[in-house]
Amino acid sequence: MATHNTKTLARLMMAPSVLLLLVWMIVPLAMTLWFSFQNYNLLSPANVNFAGFLNYEFFYTDPAFFQSIWNTLVIVCGVLFITVVGGIAIALLLDQPIFGQGIVRILVISPFFVMPPVAALIWKNMIMHPGYGVFADIANLLGQQPIDWFAQYPLFSIVIIVAWQWLPFATLILLTALQSLDGEQKEAAEMDGANFFNRFIYLVLPHLARAVTVVILIQTIFLLGVYAEILVTTNGGPGYASTNLAFLIYRTALLGYDVGGASAGGIIAVVLANIIAIFLMRAVGRNLD
């Protein structure tokens, strides 16, 4: 009887968050699905009618669509590569005994707390600006022509900014994992004559596998939806050169007033995110239990 009561109580306690998340997941998604089959433009809200798969066809045949998928992949993979490789290197460095460890950690972790629009503005104006940025100052000092980063390498510039924001996250997690590595094991390997390279490959890297998986999983969730950085710096341009899928949907919905088209894009984004999520969950599942 007592256990029965506890179970009912437990269900009651869980109900609010489960119900809220259920509604939050189903209602907007069902609406997006519904809109994606409608001819619905905000500029002529009176003329809403069934469109069949027309919205999907339009979205799919738009050359911007494939470019935006490609750009999304470039941003996700580029940032993951920089943050994981850089994160391991910096974590190895910070794991050494150093003077002022506390302050160094604080400096390294800081970019993670900078809100995306500010991060983008800082890089756009202070660092990468072709006239007044620090990169331009360096180029002038070396007698080179300053690079107009956002015009010449828009996607690469965004990858750099986003990587700067996420590098601290990767570093901190990898450093935490590194510090849990058994010191005695390292010493034993050293005594047995394993050099730094061997110790790294056979001891450190396998130990870091779980942390790396977690970093990839969590960052991917956020990197698929990079938005503010693009909005503030290139606004998706030039042309569609730095438009990712998230930004393309925003463009279609709120700049093109095309509810149907944007919804079709939204459904495509959900499908893609799920495919990636399934792969990730499988990979992570192997590492997490």
Partner 1 sequence: MARAVTTRHKVTATVFAWIVALIIFFPILYTLVTSLKTEPEAIAGFSLIPSGTFENYITVQTRSDYLKPFTNSVILSVGSTILALIIAIPSAWAMAFSPTKRTKDILMWMLSTKMMPAVAVLVPIYLLFRDFGLLDSRIGLTVMLTLINLPIVVWMLYTYFREIPGEILEAARMDGAGLWQEIVYVLTPMAVPGIASTLLLNIILAWNESFWTIRLTTTNAAPLTAFIASFSSPQGLFWAKLSAASTMAIAPILILGWFSQKQLVRGLTFGAVK
How many Å apart are CA 220 and CA 212, to the nearest integer? 12
Q: How far is the CB of 61 from partner 1 (least distance, A)?
A: 20
110-139 residues in contact with partner 1 (CB under 8 A) are: 110-127, 131-132, 134, 137-138
Name the nearest CA neighbour of 82 among 154, 150, 160: 160
Is 198 a residue that touches partner 1 (CB under 8 A)?
no
Contact 122/157 with Cβ under 8 angstroms?
no
250 touches partner 1 by CB under 8 A = yes
Least spacing, CB of residue 77 vs partner 1, in Å = 17
Number of residues that bind partner 1 (CB under 8 A): 97
Task: Tell me: does residue 169 bind partner 1 (CB under 8 A).
Answer: yes
**Amino acid occupying residue 269:** A
Q: Provide the minimum distance between the beta carbon of 255 and partner 1 in the complex, in angstroms, as a whole number.
A: 12
Q: Does 283 bind partner 1 (CB under 8 A)?
A: no
Can you tell me the distance from the alpha carbon of 245 to that of 65, in angstroms, rounded to the nearest whole number? 7
Query: How many beta carbons lie within 10 A of that of residue 133, not counting itself?
Result: 20
- Residue 180 is a binding residue for partner 1 (CB under 8 A): yes
- Work out how close the CB of 14 gets to partner 1 at its nearest, in angstroms, rounded to a whole number: 5
* 243 close to 71: Cβ distance less than 8 angstroms: yes
Site for partner 1 in 50-79 (CB under 8 A): none
Query: What is the spatial distance between Cα 165 and Cα 222, in angstroms, rounded to a whole number?
Result: 11
Our finding on whether 108 is near partner 1 (CB under 8 A) is yes
209 contacts partner 1 (rule: CB under 8 A): no
By the rule CB under 8 A, 225 interacts with partner 1: yes
